[in-house]
Amino acid sequence: MNHRTARKLVGLLVAVALYSTVIVAPVRAGTVSNITINSSNTAAGAANVQYTFSFTLPGGLAANQEVALTFASGFDVSHVTQSAVTYAYIDGGSVDSFRIDGQKVIISPSVGFAPGGPVIITVGLITNPAIPSVYSLSVSSPLDSGSASVTIGAGNGSGGQTGTGGVTGVSVIIDTSNAGKALSGTVSFQTGSDGTLIGPTDYVDVQFPAGTTVPAAIPANSILLNLASVTSIQVSGTRLRLGVPESRFIAGGAPCTIIIPQSAGILQPELPGTYVVQVATSKQSNYSSSNGYLVVGTAILNPSIVVSPARQGMAAQYQLTFTSSTSGVLSAGTGRITVEFPSGTTIPSSLPANSIRVNDVAALGVQAVGANKVAVTVPTAITGGSTIRVTFGIELGIRNPSVVGTYQLGINTSGDATPVAVSYSVSSSEIGSVSTQVSNGSAGQVAAYSISLTTGPGGALAAGIDRINVEFPAGTTIPASLATSSVTVNGSPSMLVTTAGMILSATVPASIGANTSVSLVVAETAGVMNPVTGGTYTLRVSTSRETIAVTSTGYTVSSLPLVRAIVAPSAPDGQHGYYRTKPSITLTAQSAADAQPVISYHFDSNPDSVYGGQPLVALEGTHTLSFYATDRFGNRSEIGTLVVAVDSIAPIISLTSPKDGETLNSTSLVVQGTADVGSTVQVNGQNATVDATGAFLAPVTIQGTSATVVVDATDIAGNIAHKTVSVSVDRKPPALTVSQPVNFQKIQRLPIVVAGKTEVGANLTVQGAVATVLADGSFEYSIASATDGPLTITVVASDAAGNTTTRAVAVSVLSTKLIQMQVGAKSALVNGQAVSLQSAPVIRNGATLVPLRFVAETFGITPIWDGVFQIVDLPLGTRTVRLQVGQRFAAVDGKRVSLDVAPVILNGVTMVPLRFIADTLGADTQWEAATRTIIIVYPRAS
């Protein structure tokens, strides 16, 4: 809107502005209509002022319902008395009750009236605010609410002066008149004849009305004075001090215009009504008031409230639901919902925002903005015409008023600034947290009842006067009279116990405060008997102060038989819960429906047996006894179980070392063995190391040549077993002589006989093999085979204690080979073993030729063959022999020797002269002409 248009609106605003203190609020559906407010004195700070409210309630008013007149902050209503309040409706009326609640004057007329009737209420002894401004006053009833404004210290409302010497002609043109929105517009005035303003020394003060929000800092270039940026802007509450531009000289009697844009961030009051601005200067310090300008606001629709619990004095959850108007947009992080709780509500000083939810999302912030009034910052954007739900969680600790009655809660938002009231009722408190326990859950049996409860906010009980009433369920048997000592309240006997039908009443012996835990116990001595039918039952409990009966938690009455097991002795006589002597177990059963229920039992997974009344003897080991009882109607009890651990058998000790009677060769030994798993073991009084399998070991030192080892094992139940063994010590090694063979003996014949003598009873090994020792200690052992060359024969004798004696005999072995060959035969015998030949022996020039390979293999010779010259070198022991095929001479250790026949190759087989080879090796050769057999003995007998 431009300033020319704005100035056209000034005339309209002035035309509708009310003269003096008479303000008429616009009529709005659902609101109080035709409100006019007249004041006997509009001077700022005036005392004993009388205000007359005239209005119409569209919803009417029932007899004794309340009407609240709310004065804005700054008015002092604390001196108002009932005699200073009058009420009139058509033909008359009177005030039935009167009270002050913060800024509210609340009255309850003695008669009601139909919707639309005119009402006049006069309230005296009011003190006006000290700061001149336009203030909003409101009227509300259970069904309707509305407001109007009154100007304090406003002169004639169109530039009149407050005091003398002030500026004149103060005029305000507002471009934006929506409540809670950014203000833009102009403020015009005329300086007095002696009010010359010179920049930058002089300044102009602009005082905005109460409820306006002014930023703490505003840039100087954002506000113009006579079309030039002011030199400075100082903010103090709702007052702006504007430094006159340095370029401006404003003469006395000259007009001044201040232009305030939206960008300055000044927000209109959230409460709709008519307001004025006041202006003063550094030269004319008395404030002058402007014409009234209208701030309008929409209202929310369809408000509803659910309070849970709606009991007096109790912490409750408040859930508000309403619809925003089509223009009631709320921006995330800046939009606010303001809730004014009724007088008497207790609101904690700190309200965590995360316990307040707007449309199920935690609020971004919450701020106290007055007595019982909080503003909630919305977390998400809300469009116009939306349904809004605000929930104040019960964990916040907001408590209902302590007085039973109907209350009103006010709601408005930064988008819908007009407050709207919603009503709810607070009923009387009731007891809480009622629970019941019984000492005996058997049907038809006498039981003690332990009842706990908490008194409510209005439930304080006086000693000797007030009562706690307990209503037992049907089927319970209650004696006609009960001793007071059989019923206790918080541990003390009741002062009086009475019964009426199923209700037992106990008079409290001591005073009990509100919100206090209470314990009431009906002892078994009272004789109250459970119902005979099993099931889950509840009690209903109330008090003479809180008469609403509250149902307790359930307790179970069982119509099934009860069975139990009694063990004798009752406590195990062994360790770790074991019985070392087998206990006896007696089973008993009890039933309200059967004097002799049948008891069945079984151990572990065995089949059931019927209990005959004789005690059962517990079995060895750990076993589970299961038992139950069945009455004559077939009802079976819960299965009871009893685990009994019996260990009456001493542990078994098994010694692996030493053996009883064992002879040792050392005074130090390790006692080893096993005992029952879990046992502890001592050896000669010292603890042994025992592993998880029961294996144990313990070192022992023997003093002298013999000892007795004592092993004690204690099992987990405490049973003890003993085992003893005797041992002796022998540290002398056995005697040992070897008579055959003797050291350095040459042995040509196998087997080698080893003979000698040792200690009677000793064990003997020859070359690690066991040899037999005769009764006189002599021995003889044969070594069947041995490799040619040096041989050490080791003989070891050991006695029972493990002592050993070792003898070693060094000999040399040169074993005899007997070779038999037959001319013309392709097989030979070597030490009686048949050997195949490549070619049969042949005779040339009276000399026998044999295959070279047979000679090499039989005598262990490795020949070296020269295929080019057909020369063979033969290492024969310590000698070297060279032969050449076709030559009748040989070289022995480099010396020429003649041969009877030259070596030849027959059918690819090299044949050499046998006698030459044998003689060179030192073998003995024999010829049997009859069988044409050659016999070679190697080595030649010495």
pLDDT band at 918 (very low <50, low <70, confident <90, very high): confident
CATH architecture assigned to 736-813: Sandwich (2.60)
pLDDT tens string 700-739: 999 888 899 999 999 999 999 999 999 998 888 999 999 9
How many Cβ atoms sit within 10 Å of the Cβ of residue 60? 17
Alpha carbon distances (Å) from 198 to 233, 234, 244, 283, 284? 16, 18, 7, 10, 13
Amino acid at 860: G
Kind of pairing, strands 769-771 and 432-438?
A: unpaired
Q: Name the most confidently modeled range: 116-120, 225-229, 828-832.
A: 225-229
User: What integer is the mean pLDDT of 627-646?
Assistant: 88
Cα 631 to chain centroid, rounded: 47
Q: Which CATH class is domain 432-551?
A: mainly beta
Assess whether pLDDT exceeds 70 at residue 552. yes
Assess whether pLDDT exceeds 60 at residue 255. yes
Alpha carbon distances (Å) from 317 to 310, 323, 578? 9, 20, 58
Contact in structure between 788 and 816 (CB atoms under 8 Å)? no
Determine which of 377-391, 498-512, 683-697, 809-823 has the lowest per-residue pLDDT on average.
809-823
User: What integer is the mean pLDDT of 609-634?
Assistant: 91
319 closest CA partner among 329, 331, 310, 307: 307
Q: Cα–Cα distance between 830 and 826 in angstroms, integer? A: 13
**Could you say which DSSP state residue 396 is in?**
G
CATH architecture assigned to 168-295: Sandwich (2.60)
207 closest CA partner among 228, 225, 234: 234
Identify which has the larger pLDDT, 895 or 561: 895
In the prediction, which pLDDT does 518 show?
97
Assess whether pLDDT exceeds 80 at residue 160. no
| Mean pLDDT, all residues of the chain | 87
pLDDT tens string 425-455: 998 888 989 999 999 887 888 899 999 999 9
Read out DSSP for 861-907? ---EEETTTTEEEEEETTEEEEEETT-SEEEETTEEEE-SS--EEET
Q: Cα–Cα distance between 818 and 786 in angstroms, integer? A: 17
- What DSSP element (H or E) covers 15? helix 3-16
Alpha carbon distances (Å) from 444 to 447, 557, 594, 728? 9, 9, 12, 78
Read out DSSP for 244-267? PPTT-EE-TT-EEEEEE-GGG-PB
Cα 673–Cα 677–Cα 682 angle in degrees, nearest 5:
50
CATH architecture assigned to 21-152: Sandwich (2.60)
pLDDT band at 941 (very low <50, low <70, confident <90, very high): low
44 closest CA partner among 336, 276, 339: 276
In the prediction, which pLDDT does 107 show?
86
Assess whether pLDDT exceeds 50 at residue 192. yes
How many Cβ atoms sit within 10 Å of the Cβ of residue 67? 23
User: What integer is the mean pLDDT of 651-675?
Assistant: 92
Q: Cα–Cα distance between 861 and 899 in angstroms, integer? A: 20
Contact in structure between 47 and 39 (CB atoms under 8 Å)? no
> Which tokens sit at 42?
């509009």
pLDDT band at 362 (very low <50, low <70, confident <90, very high): very high
pLDDT band at 164 (very low <50, low <70, confident <90, very high): low
In the prediction, which pLDDT does 649 show?
92
How many Cβ atoms sit within 10 Å of the Cβ of residue 866? 11
Close Cβ partners of 157 (under 8 Å, ≥ 6 residues apart): 17, 18, 19, 20, 151, 276, 289, 291, 292
- What DSSP element (H or E) covers 547? none
Determine which of 332-346, 743-757, 789-803 has the lowest per-residue pLDDT on average.
743-757
3-class DSSP assignment, residue 144 = coil
User: 3-state SS of 111-123?
Assistant: CCECCCCEEEEEE
Assess whether pLDDT exceeds 70 at residue 652. yes
pLDDT band at 879 (very low <50, low <70, confident <90, very high): confident
In the prediction, which pLDDT does 687 show?
94
User: What integer is the mean pLDDT of 750-763?
Assistant: 90
Interior/surface letters 654-670, b for 16+ CB within 10 angstroms, e for the rest:
ebeebeeebbbbeeebe
Assess whether pLDDT exceeds 50 at residue 156. no
Identify which has the larger pLDDT, 581 or 61: 581
In the prediction, which pLDDT does 11 show?
31
In the prediction, which pLDDT does 97 show?
80
Alpha carbon distances (Å) from 822 to 249, 839, 854? 162, 11, 14
User: What integer is the mean pLDDT of 912-939?
Assistant: 87
Q: First and final CA of the chain: distance in angstroms?
A: 152
> Which tokens sit at 359?
């449309």
CA atoms within 13 A on the CB side of 123: 29
Close Cβ partners of 115 (under 8 Å, ≥ 6 residues apart): 57, 58, 59, 60
**Could you say which DSSP state residue 296 is in?**
B
Contact in structure between 566 and 585 (CB atoms under 8 Å)? yes
Contact in structure between 278 and 166 (CB atoms under 8 Å)? no
Backbone angles phi, psi at 6, to 5 degrees: -60, -40
Determine which of 10-24, 287-301, 595-609, 789-803 has the lowest per-residue pLDDT on average.
10-24
This prediction has a pTM of 0.41
185 closest CA partner among 173, 196, 177: 173
pLDDT tens string 96-136: 788 888 889 998 877 777 777 778 889 999 998 876 677 77
Cα 567 to chain centroid, rounded: 42
CATH code of the region 301-426: 2.60.40.10
How many Cβ atoms sit within 10 Å of the Cβ of residue 83? 10
Equal CATH topology for 168-295 and 736-813: yes
Q: Cα–Cα distance between 733 and 715 in angstroms, integer? A: 42
In the prediction, which pLDDT does 92 show?
56
CATH superfamily of 817-938: Copper amine oxidase-like, N-terminal domain (3.30.457.10)
pLDDT tens string 48-103: 999 998 888 888 887 778 888 998 878 999 899 888 888 777 555 666 788 888 88
Annotated domain spans of the chain: 21-152, 168-295, 301-426, 432-551, 562-646, 654-729, 736-813, 817-938
Q: Cα–Cα distance between 99 and 126 in angstroms, integer? A: 15
718 closest CA partner among 644, 646, 653: 646
In the prediction, which pLDDT does 132 show?
66
Q: Please compute Rg for the chain using Cα positions.
A: 63
Q: Cα–Cα distance between 163 and 919 in angstroms, integer? A: 166
Task: State the residue for tokens 């408590």.
Answer: 399
CATH superfamily of 654-729: Immunoglobulins (2.60.40.10)
Give the bridge partners for 55, in sequence order: 119
Q: Cα–Cα distance between 80 and 85 in angstroms, integer? A: 8
In the prediction, which pLDDT does 247 show?
85
Amino acid at 932: R
Identify which has the larger pLDDT, 495 or 327: 495
Assess whether pLDDT exceeds 90 at residue 594. no
In the sheet that holds 67-70, the strands lie side by side as: 95-101, 104-109, 67-70, 133-140, 145-152
Contact in structure between 511 and 460 (CB atoms under 8 Å)? yes
Assess whether pLDDT exceeds 60 at residue 605. yes
CATH code of the region 562-646: 2.60.40.10
Contact in structure between 33 and 27 (CB atoms under 8 Å)? yes
Close Cβ partners of 849 (under 8 Å, ≥ 6 residues apart): 841, 842, 843, 901, 903, 904, 906, 911, 912, 913, 914
